[in-house]
Structure 1
């Protein structure tokens, strides 16, 4: 999870997912995940691809993975 937009004070406003094959997905409902900067996750939800090829996901299910140094901790669906 990486930040992609900040306010004038440097507070994260939006997040993206960068995959292991270096694809980037904007997160439609990123306001729920602003505290997950730098976390390795597994996420699922519908993906929309724009005509320009930009990809966005609406996360319905998420789990922090062991790559973060912790065991996976699934959260409730949104």
Structure 2
């Protein structure tokens, strides 16, 4: 399994610091605060980006894990 790393960064398109998530030399995602919500941008296919509210993404991942546990049992 690949190891993801975190890097705290200041980027030109955001007012505050962001946390970058890296997969070796490739930036995988960026987590930041916007309008009092934690957001995550996920990068794919040559710098294309999907943006999500982090709490919604956590909820859907939690539900996916519950479904997998149910099917495995």
TM-score by length of 1: 0.31
Q: Which is helix-richer, 1 or 2?
A: 2
- Name the structure, 1 or 2, with higher relative contact order (CA <8 Å, separation 6+): 1
TM-score normalised to structure 2 length: 0.32
The higher radius of gyration belongs to: 2
